[in-house]
Amino acid sequence: MTDQPMSHDNLKSLSAQDVRTAIRDGKYFGHTSGLAAGKLQCNLAILPERYALDFLRFCLRNPKPCPVVGVSETGDPYLPTLGRDIDIRHDVSRYRVFRDGQLVDEPSNLQELWSDDLVSVALGCSFTFENALVRHGLPVRHMETGQNVPMYRSNIDLAPAGPFGGKMVITMRPIPADQVKDAYEISGRYPQAHGAPIAHGNPSDVGITDISKPDWGEAVEVRAGEVPVYWACGVTPQNVLLDAKLPICITHSPGHMLIADVAEDAETTILTTT
Amino acid sequence: MTDQPMSHDNLKSLSAQDVRTAIRDGKYFGHTSGLAAGKLQCNLAILPERYALDFLRFCLRNPKPCPVVGVSETGDPYLPTLGRDIDIRHDVSRYRVFRDGQLVDEPSNLQELWSDDLVSVALGCSFTFENALVRHGLPVRHMETGQNVPMYRSNIDLAPAGPFGGKMVITMRPIPADQVKDAYEISGRYPQAHGAPIAHGNPSDVGITDISKPDWGEAVEVRAGEVPVYWACGVTPQNVLLDAKLPICITHSPGHMLIADVAEDAETTILTTT
């Protein structure tokens, strides 16, 4: 590698570990969509140990929006079950730091913020099933148009745990009516990445009042013959963490995921070093 | 229901909730194999809250032997995500109580042992994939012969967490050579119940010195043309809990599982009340 900053295109042919190294070395600060093809990418939540048991209970009770794929020891910045030498203080290209539920900083490393009482929780992300949909010839509209997926605050209650609870955030992808069943079947193979859709059809059934006005991301067109299909979204745990107003919590910045060495279609998300 | 004790045969036609009621009312103390057909049955671990975070980390890092399907609030004996009105103090037919790693009692309820600092963790069990194998026409030898499945302490290291670690316990089922691939495929659909096998073939590869001498359960015949196939076993977390010598921990008694209202082939193990 050079000492120069690297572009998304520069990184496309690199392994997961080499992408992480480029990020760790301060050569890349961008999003990770399309990088390290075939490897699991993860949402990230870092929080003080005293909230970790409740947060894990919350995730285990809401496995579709919050599929846990890795969890660190307290105070240990490494995540050996997800990848070789993953240092969570450096290996994500952009973080968000929240205090009492307010965004206070968006740093490119956690060197000065890391402390002995922090626990890292990695959660599966929709890239995994989107890649599978595309491999099977299903359209993924926001990928075709280069947009961010539309996300909506739904009317679906989460199973609470301790200070964590609220409503599920969902994504929407328009799918041709005759491929909706395939979309369920294909994404359902990835329980570590939100699994099968939560619902499809009428937006008001899931609490969406105007599908052209997502709460996050960008609206995409639903064409004639297409059905809006709704999946549980990894923004759910981030939202829930904000609402809980923890004294501190840290997440990845949207689209700037943690890239693991685990294959995205592996049976489990535990790295087996054979 | 009558006030009389009930036999396994009496219970066979009852719903999961009615079986739990019979157990709660002290009318049944037996094993749960074959009861509440189609419903998820669970291994059970109850431990003080101060060990719960490490135990969940341990389970999440070892999802094949330790698939978490439910977890309670601290001190709350109910498990609403697994079933209606499940009271973990009464709804298992036989428990085992361990203090400092020693079995000290095998009660039929936890009325006097329950305390405000206990957390219940329910884990998937092999009944789920065994039923699926049988439905697909694969032989399950120990079920055919009415034996307990043979279990072995393997040479496979578990990913440790806090005081929890050691070697994986595995089960063995002989499968005709031409159906081994099917066995992987079918059981692989049940990640909440140990998933696909860990290995197959040579017993010494997984650390078994004499396949006719299991560490727990009973030996079964491996016939000509059959291959020994090894799955991760739910005795693993029990063993790990014992080795950790907690001041107190409580499990179900082998074969006396917690019966949930969740379907054993549901996408998640979270009860949806629709």
What does the pLDDT look like over A27-76, one tens digit per residue?
999 999 999 999 999 999 999 999 999 999 999 999 999 999 999 999 99
A81 CB neighbours in chain B (<8 A) are 61, 159
**CA separation for the pair B254, B91 (Å, rounded):** 15
* Residue B81 predicted with pLDDT over 70: yes
> B272 falls in which pLDDT band (50, 70, 90)?
confident
Q: How confident is the model over B94-142, as pLDDT tens digits?
A: 999 999 999 999 999 999 999 999 999 999 999 999 999 999 999 999 9
Residues in chain A, pLDDT under 70? 1-3, 273-274
- The conformation of residue B148, written as its DSSP 8-state character, comes to P
Q: How far is CA B252 from CA A262, B120, B209, B235, in A?
A: 34, 11, 29, 11
pLDDT for B159 equals 96
What is the rounded average pLDDT of the residues B153-178?
97
With a pLDDT cut of 70, the percent of chain B lying above it is 98
Residue B274 is predicted with a pLDDT of 44
| Average pLDDT over every residue of B170-184 | 98
Q: What is the rounded distance in angstroms from the CA atom of residue A38 to the CA atom of residue A127?
A: 10
- Mean pLDDT over all residues of chain B? 95
Is B123 in the A-facing interface, judged by CB distances under 8 Å? no
Q: According to the model, what pLDDT value does residue B2 have?
A: 52
**How far is the CA of B238 from the CAs of B94, B102, B120, B135, in angstroms?**
15, 12, 13, 29
B191 touches chain A (CB under 8 A): yes
pLDDT for the residue numbered A2: 53
Of A78, A40, A71, residue with least CA distance to A262: A40
Residue with tokens 């099977």: A136
What is the nearest CA distance from A242 to chain B, expressed in angstroms? 21
Tokens encoding A242: 């904000």
CA B245, chain centre distance (Å): 20
CB contact under 8 A, B195 and A268: yes
ipTM of the complex as predicted: 0.95
Rounded Cα gap, residues A125 and A163, in angstroms: 23
pLDDT at A108: 96
Q: What percent of chain A has pLDDT over 90?
A: 95
Domains, chain B, ranges and CATH?
8-125+238-263 (3.40.1640.10), 127-236 (3.30.2040.10)
Give yes or no for a contact between B217 and B148, defined as CB atoms under 8 angstroms apart: yes
**Residue A169's pLDDT is what?**
97
- pLDDT tens for B211-239 read 999 999 999 999 999 999 999 999 999 99
Do the chains contact at B49 and A53, CB–CB below 8 Å?
yes
Show the 3-state SS of A140-177: CHHHHCCCCCCEEEEEEECCCECCECCEEEEEEEEEEH
Tell whether A71 lies on the interface with B, counting CB pairs under 8 A. Answer: yes
User: Residue A122 forms beta bridges with which residues?
Assistant: A44, A70
Q: Taking a C-beta distance cutoff of 8 angstroms, is the pair B98, B249 a contact?
A: yes
Cα distances (angstroms) measured from residue B28 to each of A3, A93, B104 = 71, 58, 22
What pLDDT, on the 0 to 100 scale, is given for residue B1?
47
Distance from CA of B224 to the nearest CA of A (A): 30
Measure in Å the smallest separation between the Cα of B146 and chain A Cα atoms.
Answer: 31
